[in-house]
Each structure stands twice: as C-alpha cells, then as structure tokens.
Amino acid sequence: MSKLTHVDETGAARMVDVGDKASTHRIAIAEAFVHMRTDTLGLILDGKLPKGDVLAAARLAGIMAAKKTSDLIPLCHPLPITSAKLDITKSSDTSLRIEAYVKVNGQTGVEMEALTAASVASLTIYDMAKASDKAMRIDGVRLLRKEGGKSGTYEAD
C-alpha cells in the first residue's frame, strides 16, 4: 500500500514539501462542457446577451482562476504560472467546450490549475447566460494531458 502524500503520520492533512524537488517544465490541459438550449448558444455566439461578451469574460475568469487555485484548493502550492490559455469552442448545437492549458516551470504540477480554470470558465458562462437558460448543465470536467515531473506524461483516453 502506498503512503498518502497529503497526510502526516498522525492522519492530519498537510501540504507536501516540494522544496527539495528540481524545477521542471510542466503543462496540464483540462476540459469542461456547458450544455444549453440552442437559442442560448446562439445568443452567446452572437454576443447578444445583456451581460456582454460571455466568451471573453469566461476566458479571463479561467485565467484568473488558474492563478488563484492555491487560494481555493487547500493543499495546492502557489505556483509561478508562466502561461494560461483558454479556448472555448462550439462542440455541438447545444454545447460549448472549454479547454484550459496551463504551464509552469516548477517543483509541482499544474493539473489543479488547469481543472480550476476550466471549471471557473464554465461557471462564468452559466452566470452570464442564466437569465436566458437556468437549465444549463456543466459536465465532463477532466484532465486531458499532463507533462513533466516524476510521473511523466499522462494522456486521457
């Protein structure tokens, strides 16, 4: 049985000490989907919602979220992110796909930052379009790829 890294010998939660680890180039890519009515998607894509440019706001919210992940997830390390990018594309007549890409040269990975970015971008889309469609659904939040660190590369099926 492997030792849990975020739990000390007494069972208390702790932040992992990464101080002795070498800094390496690391990336993570995550995705999420926002499902909605066709007319709501049309309003978003045409920029006709009263709150403004939904996609621009969602991209900015995702980038800001990546930078604030350690403030939101208790045992995450604050990281000097070198790049954060979000692509939001139409994935069907009723959904948007958010892809978050985060990069760092550091001692620990950026998977949580990419997942947080995709999640917050999705929530921002919901917030800005909820007057049109309260039944929107967010799902499919997952890590697509990570590179770097001791565990190497991971790619989702």
Break the chain into its structural domains and give their ranges. Answer: 24-149
Q: Going residue by residue through the chain (157 aa), what tens digit of pLDDT does each one get?
A: 456 566 677 777 766 766 667 788 999 999 999 999 999 999 999 999 999 999 999 999 999 999 999 999 988 889 999 999 999 999 999 999 999 999 999 888 899 999 999 999 999 999 999 999 999 999 999 999 999 988 899 999 9
> Residue 144 in contact with residue 29, Cβ under 8 Å?
yes
Q: Which residues form the catalytic set?
A: 127
Rounded Cα distance between 27 and 153, Å, is 9
Span 4-18, pLDDT tens digits: 566 677 777 766 766
- Provide the whole-model pTM: 0.90
Distance from chain centroid for Cα 106: 18
Q: Among 3.30.2230.10, 3.30.70.640, 3.40.470.10, 3.40.50.1110, name the CATH number for the domain at 24-149.
A: 3.30.70.640
